[in-house]
Amino acid sequence: MQENISDYKISDLVCPKIGDLVKWYTYYKDSIVKDAGYGVVLKRNKSKKLAPIDAPDLYDTYYVFKFTNNHNSAEWFYLEDLEDIELTKNKNNNKNNKKQKQQEGE
């Protein structure tokens, strides 16, 4: 079953920090993905957004430097339009730990 961003509360979402690598999405009005790519968070701000009644008035917005083929640019995104990218630190650490254990066992 595919998870939907609307299944989460804002407090459940991981907020990227300045300098984090993220995947960004832009959408057509009917919520179909228009474009997507990778970028780095440059700034974080609070801004107003039309929201449901029970939602807070201010939302975090993120200024992201987008890596694109045509031209590099920066754009503001809401949290729900970003996906935090976990780098392979844990995988690399696990590989290094296995190599060290193998070397110690020899």
> Mind listing the pLDDT tens digit for each residue in 5-31?
444 444 445 688 899 999 999 999 998
CATH number for 62: 2.30.30
Mean pLDDT of 77-104: 67
Place of tokens 């993905």: 33
Q: What domain range is 21 assigned to?
A: 5-105
Q: Give the total number of structural domains in the chain.
A: 1
Asked if residues 65 and 39 have their Cβ atoms less than 8 Å apart, the reply is: yes
Tens of pLDDT, residue by residue over 27-84, are 999 989 999 999 999 999 887 666 555 555 667 889 999 998 777 789 999 888 998 8
Task: Give the span between the Cα atoms of 40 and 18, in whole angstroms.
Answer: 8
Structure tokens at 102: 């193998």
Quick check: 4 pLDDT over 60? no
